[in-house]
Structures are given as C-alpha cells and as structure tokens.
Structure 1
Amino acid sequence: MGELPATLSGFIDEADTSEKSLLLLNRTEPEPFVDLLSEAFEEQAVTVTEKQIPEGVDNLVCLVEDGNVVATTPLSELAEAYLLVNVDRYRTGTRQSDLGTFPEVLTGLDDIEFVVEGLPRSNREKLLLVVISRFIEHRALTADNGEFHSTFQRLSRLDDEYGTRTMYKRLGDSGVETHIYGVRDDPEAVEELGVTVHGGTSEEYRRSWVVVFTPEDRSDDGHVALVAVEIDRNVWRSLWTYDVDRTERIRSYVRKRF
C-alpha cells in the first residue's frame, strides 16, 4: 500500500475522476420522471440525457462510460430506490437492504467526486450517500467475512435511527469484524450491537463519513469504500471507490488515525 494522505480529503484529491453519464432510453413515463433524474445530478459531474431508439427497452436508465453502456437499471427500480423516496426510508427501515436491490447505475458512479447537501438546503442530494452506505453494509453482510468500518459523527444516531441500528445489529451478529466510530454522546446507543466501538472528539470524528468494507481475500472484487468530508454545515464532499489498493489504504487510515 502507498503512503497515507494527511487527511481524509486526500483520498478524494488523489482520485482520477471518471467521466460518466446517465442515458434514459425510450421514456414512456411522464416528464416529471426525467426532471427528477436531471435535478438529482444537475450540480454534479454527471450529465443526464434521454433518447428514443427503435426496438429498445422502454424506460431504461443506462450508465455510460467512455461511450459504452456499463450498467442498466429500469427507471421503476431507480425511482423506488432513489428518485421517489427520501432519507427517512433508509433511516427508519431496511427494505432496500432486505431486497438487495441497489441500482447499478448509482453504485456504478464510483471514482466521481460529488458535493452534496443535506437538509435544510436539499432533501435529495445527501440521499445518494445514504444509498451507497447501505449498499456497502449489504455487501459486507452478504460476504459474512472481512472487515467493516463506519464512522457516525455521533453514536446517538444508532439509537435515533431504527433502520441504521437494525443493520448494525446484523453486522455485529455476522462473521464480519465490525468497527464503528463516533463521539460518545449516548453510550447506551451502542449497547448489545456486538460491534467494536471507538470513541473520539477530534475534527475528523465530528466531520467524517466513512464506510469501508474489505473482504478476507484481497483479490476479491468485493472491496468498496465511501469517503465523505463535511466542508460546511451538512455539505459533504465525497467519493466512493472499488479500487482494492485505495480501499485498503482507507481502511488503514481509519484504523490508524481514528
């Protein structure tokens, strides 16, 4: 592994941001659906277009990279998991994780820098990072091995959010070595989870959102990590990656610096 950056932001700085776009094919759904899709990414480095093609599948969202379609998701599935829901869906329940359906056109937006806002500025942008967090948690649970690390800013969130607590109880009961990090503002919040708890009050504890999974087999393609840094009140600069070396370095950073 290479040298670790001075801060978590260094992992975002060093990434070669990919150029990807979303293409909606043969839309038959009403205009508001494409509006929702466009609005979700209008401030990001992802362009959204639509096109009609003969004999193509209706209402299919395609992830395009370097001119090639690398993933597809039905518009209905993307709407159910992202476009027509809010953050509370994931905070209060585990439906998406139970189904194991995470839109590939979203999870495939790796190695792209996103700057997203939460409430009160936006009720949708931050949802993207919540979806990716749940996706990483689900991948760890499915593997049932390896290491999983997640930062929470405040550990009380595990008491406030039923869906989140349920996911981490499952991780604690699994074969995954699970570590959580945050300010210990509510010690009872992490009782009986069966996870290793790390408490702190540093700037990175309070302003970092990291979710990283590394399977036992380093050659496994299951590696994935999300790194987000709060650069203003509820404004997050972020990126996720499947790169094995970068994911291993992010895990090493969390273990050594938190």
Structure 2
Amino acid sequence: MTLREFIDEFADDGHTASLSIVNSDQPPMVAQMLESLFDEQSVSVSEVSRVLSDSNVVQLRRDGSVVAESAFSDVRDSILAVNSDIYITGTRPLSEVETPEVVRNLEGTRFRVRGYPAGTKGKLLLIEISRYIEAMALQHGAGELHTGFQRLSRITDERGTARAYEQLSQTDLDLHVYGIGDPRPFDTWSVAVHNDDVPEIRNGWFVVFAPPPDSEAEGAALVAITEDDEEWDGVWVLDADAARQVASYLCDEHGAA
C-alpha cells in the first residue's frame, strides 16, 4: 500500500455529492463564492427554494438524500471569507476551529485542487480539513498524529503552524512530523521527526489522527499527493480504523526518526 493507493481506496467514486443553498437571501456574489469553490470538483452546487426548510442553510446530499446541514454563515466564515493566512499567522488557533458539518461530511469525495497561482480557493478545503483533524487530536490529547509537510521548514516558517504543533507536542499524543530538511529545530519538542528524502514524503500532504486502540473516539485521515506542487489529488475519511491503517503504514514505511 502507498499513499496514492490509500487515496484510491478511500475515494467513494460510486456516489454523487451535491450542495444546495436553501432559501437564500444572500447577495448573488456570496452564493457564487461557494459555487466557484467547487467549480472544478465533482460536487455540484445549486440554489433552491424549499417551503419546509430553514432559510440560509447549506445542505449536503448524497445520491439525492440530505446527509448534513449547516448554516450558510458557518460555511462563509470558515471557508469562503478567509484565506490560508489565518492559519499561517495563527489568527485562528486550533481551539477555535469549527469546521461545518457539510464540509466535514464530504469525506470520500475526491478533490483535485490547485494552490496559488494556479488556483485560488480550492486548496482551502484541504487546509480546513487538516486543521479540523489537528484540532480533533488536540481535543483528545492522546493517540497518534502523523502530519506530512513536504518541507520541515514549513512548520517553523509559519508562526501559526509552529504554535499549533508546539501545543500539540505538549499533550500525550504520539506526534510525528514528516518532511525533508533540517530536523534540529524540533529538538526541544516531544515529537518524532521523519526526514526521509523520498518522493512520497516530498510530495505527500497528510494529516492522520489515530485514537488509542481502546478508545471509541472518531479518527480521521486526509491524504493528498502532488506531482508538481501546484495541483493536489486528495481525499479525507472520518474513520478510526482507516486512520490507524494509514498511521501504521507511515510508521512501517517511514518510521525511522
């Protein structure tokens, strides 16, 4: 098994997902922001009116059935009205991450997103889910968290990221970070640093929280791969067994600290 094969395994390509903005009184431009976020994805977005539904909500449907609903304001504030700087600078700490249910439950949906300058907002979906998984790990404070940064310097260069991982290292989590570069800046942290200079680590973006074996806590894994550092092919899953499977693979394949 490889990270690429995990993406293929977790992707639920046999079912369709769609988002509906229900009974909206938002300005057209705001609704269009949600549409543009998923413009190149397999998730369709539409505006609908429903007599028996609340106003200004976003509904997630799978194969035509509603499986999640969030206030439009929550989706706007967490994804549409922000950029990645809120996490890079630490403006939004992990303790304040509140990922809307309709975004979380897009698990199994395969995303191909591009970062700046090739794209604009699409990569924010993967960033938001990354922070959601990190926040989940911080809340539980035990289990394993494995994160791939491609370059270890990304952790210390982004003060918000550095602050988050220093905080995570002070819990009872078995914390692992992966990337190429100098591991010495992390000598004072309780963290295992894996700087295996291989394509999967150079090109892999993953955040995996595996709860302790005796825990009934939810686990989660985001796995994405790039070939050019511009376009990412990825998926996330909210499942403890799946997360433990990825964590075990990472330890076996890249576990030498």
TM range (shorter): over 0.9
2:188 to 182, 185, 192: 192
1:12 to 3, 7, 14: 7
Where structure 2 has 5 or more consecutive residues not aligned to the other structure, the ranges are none
Q: Which residue of 1 aligns with 2:82?
A: 85
Q: Which runs of 4+ in 1 moved over 4 A?
A: none
Residue 249 of structure 1: SS of its match in structure 2? helix
Q: Which moved more, 1:87-96 or 1:137-146?
A: 87-96
* Conserved? CA contact 2:211–2:240, under 8 Å: no
Q: Which residue of 1 aligns with 2:244?
A: 248
1:235 lines up with 2:228 in the alignment: no
Q: Which moved more, 1:134-143 or 1:53-62?
A: 53-62
Shift of residue 28, structure 1, vs aligned partner: 0.3
User: TM-score, with normalisation over the residues of structure 2?
Assistant: 0.92
2:111 to 110, 114, 117: 114
Q: Which residue of 1 aligns with 2:126?
A: 129
Question: What is the CA–CA distance in structure 2 between the aligned matches of 1:165 and 1:94, rounded to whole Å?
Answer: 13
Letter in 1 for 2:145: F
Shift of residue 256, structure 1, vs aligned partner: 1.2
Question: What is the CA–CA distance in structure 2 between the aligned matches of 1:160 and 1:63, rounded to whole Å?
Answer: 36
Where structure 1 has 5 or more consecutive residues not aligned to the other structure, the ranges are none
Q: Which residue of 2 aligns with 1:26?
A: 23
Q: Which residue of 1 aligns with 2:198?
A: 202
Shift of residue 243, structure 1, vs aligned partner: 3.2
2:44 to 44, 47, 54: 47
Letter in 2 for 1:129: L
Q: CA-to-partner distance for each residue in 1:193-232, whole Å, 9 max, x for gaps? A: 3211111211111100111011114662411000000133
Letter in 1 for 2:202: R
Question: What is the CA–CA distance in structure 2 between the aligned matches of 1:105 and 1:191, rounded to whole Å?
Answer: 39
* Conserved? CA contact 1:94–1:167, under 8 Å: no
Residue 95 of structure 1: SS of its match in structure 2? coil
User: TM-score, with normalisation over the residues of structure 1?
Assistant: 0.92
1:183 lines up with 2:190 in the alignment: no
